[in-house]
Structure 1
Amino acid sequence: MVLRQFSWPYGGRQASLCGSFTGWRDCPMALVGTEFQVVFDLPPGVYQYRFLVDGVWRCDDTKPCVHDAYGLISNEVLVENNAHSVVQPEPSSIRGINMDEGIILTTLAVLDAQLPVKQAFKIMHDELQRNIRSLGHEELEMHPISLWKEAKLQFYVGPDGSAMQRRPLVHVKDSDNLVDVALTIIRNEISSVPIFKSLPDSSRMPLLNLATLPGILKFLCSKLQEQPEGCSFLQSQIVSIPVGTWSPHTGRSDGVSSIPIVDDNGSFRDVYSLSDIMALAKNDVYARIELEQVTVQNALDVQYQVNGRRQSHTCLQTSTLLEVLEELSIPGVRRLVVIEPTTRFVEGVISLRDIFTFLLG
């Protein structure tokens, strides 16, 4: 399958496209800048298509055209399989990925270190197959996770050429307070931390659960609702608090996990985040996509087709800190985009991590 963009740059109030790959059914096109665009995921082959612009059938004279048996003119396109082998990222970039704040965990999966790799973790299986030397099915059944982790340390070498050293496991105990738990997550730039049960014998600590920033914030909000008195600072407007990233620094290049998307008028439309980029990597979409032709909106449309349109969570400069906390405590909400209510211009972004950094000083 190949992602192919079709465009109509010659004006009009509305446009749609139909072709042999749609069963000659009309498919609406979106106005992006000054041209109408639509993206289809097509298998390699030759296809015919036409545009319906303001109720009139049109063809693009600058593209190849053909006549059918009835004398109708259509554009023709050859879709070639442009898939290339996926280039493996450098080890440093793999280690640098930060997954941002995760959704509250309701199920905890625990893997036995002696469990076969293929049975334990399919993603691990796929990653091993993409390595320099692919392992056969029999080897995948034989090798345990512990052996795979040791081999990984040898594979990813340090700047001096030496093998990576095993890092101590970042964890907390059930006796630790929430402040220390949150600081552990923030300082280590991780999305969750395992919670071990405190026992006199430190060599054997049962795993209880995982702690995340969303889970901690949800607990705090429930307590604030029970005892609202004594927290007057929570009624402060968010604009008066040093938290988040505000214009003109909203699009800064360092430490950014998401970027607001605006239309031609500058009004907020959506957020393009790290998870959207990773979603494009599923099923080798990067190997099938023509990056120089596909816009951010096209990439989001692919997401919408699979998961449906999503709600973008926003707030105002006049929103109170308590309102922001309650909104960020909703499962799956990782950030709020601060907008101007009339124009929907982007004025800032407040993430879950920003909130905890502020609260913990």
Structure 2
Amino acid sequence: MQAGPYDSMKDISLKILQSSVSTVPIIHSASQDGSFPQLLYLASLSGILKCISRYFRHSAGSFPILQQPICNSLVKRLPQATTFLFYLDITALAKDKAYAQIHLDEISIHQALQLGQNANSSNAFYNGQRCQMCLRTDSLHKVMERLANPGVRRLLIVEAGSKRVEGVISLSDVFRFLLGI
């Protein structure tokens, strides 16, 4: 699967979503017969979202949908007992070898966040860089900007005061909403 330099961002986004791949190569061939193809770019949902966010950064107020709090339809609700291993990437924990300090199949997301909030904890593997958070009241545009950061694939939606996990929103959730699929 590939795309060309004149394909729309919508078409490329649909290819990524429908094929469940992380990137699509953007290929250009100067010749009529398609020989000598050149790789121009590897398109990803986060890269496309970054372009969209940058484009609307100063005009987001002109589009009311971007200023509204994230919709309930975008949020995947997580029960409090959902285990850390179930939803978050284990590779994010590998850098600090945190996986050796905890039992991933026994710790809930809520417990992991609490450990990370406690700076004195010997298991303080969580920091805001590994697992981004947002509030239910954050605007769609703010959520899009956070998801456009490299390596961020999902945001935990937390309660403002307690940091209790209320749900998750992913890149694909936002694109499905924006594309109406």
Tell me the TM-score normalised to structure 2 length.
0.73
Q: Whole-Å Cα distance in 2 between the matches of residues 189 and 348 of structure 1? A: 22
Q: Which residue number in structure 1 is paired with residue 104 of structure 2?
A: 296
Q: Give the structure with the larger helix fraction.
A: 2
Q: Structure 2 stretches of 5 or more lacking a match?
A: 106-111, 113-121
**Cα RMSD (Å) of the superposition?**
3.5
Q: Aligned-pair distance for 1:204? A: 3.6
Indicate the percent of aligned positions where both proteins have the same amino acid: 35
Distance 1:241 1:205 in 2: 44
1:273 aligns with 2:92: no
**Is 1:172 paired with 2:30?**
no
**Higher RCO (CA 8 Å, separation ≥ 6 residues):** 2
Match in the other structure for 1:310? 127
Distance, in Å, in 2 between the alignment partners of 1:241 and 1:179 is 23
Q: Is the CA contact (8 Å cut-off) linking 1:250 and 1:349 kept in structure 2? A: no
What is the Cα deviation at residue 241 of structure 1? 4.4
Change (3 A) 1:184 1:314: same
The one-letter amino acid paired with 1:275 is T
Matches within 5 A, 1:74-113: none
Q: Cα deviation per residue 1:195-235 (whole Å; 9 max; x = unaligned)?
A: 10154222442211211111111100110014335311111
Give the structure 2 partner of residue 218 of structure 1.
Answer: 50
Structure 1's consecutive aligned runs of 4 or more residues displaced over 6 angstroms after TM superposition are none
Aligned to 1:327: 146
Unaligned runs of 5+ in 1: 1-169, 260-271
- Give the secondary-structure state (helix, strand or coil) at the position aligned to 2:152: coil
For the Cα contact (< 8 Å) 2:60–2:66, is it kept in 1? no
DSSP 3-state at the match of 2:168: strand
Query: How many angstroms does 1:334 deviate by?
Result: 1.5
* Equivalent residues, number: 160
The reply on whether 1:181 has 2:12 as its aligned counterpart is yes
**CA distance in 2: counterparts of 1:250 and 1:321, whole angstroms:** 27
Aligned to 2:67: 235
Deviation string for 1:300-335 (max 9, x for gaps)? 9xxxx9xx7532311111111111111111222221
Q: Distance in 2 between matches of 1:327 and 1:207?
A: 28
Aligned to 1:159: none
- Structure 1 length normalisation: TM-score? 0.39
Find 2:169's aligned residue among 323, 347, 350: 350
When residues 258 and 190 of structure 1 are mapped into structure 2, their CA distance, relative to the original with a 3 A threshold, is: farther
Higher strand share: 1
Q: 1:206–1:326: structure 2 CA closer, same or farther, 3 Å change rule?
A: same
2:118 maps to none
Distance 1:258 1:331 in 2: 22
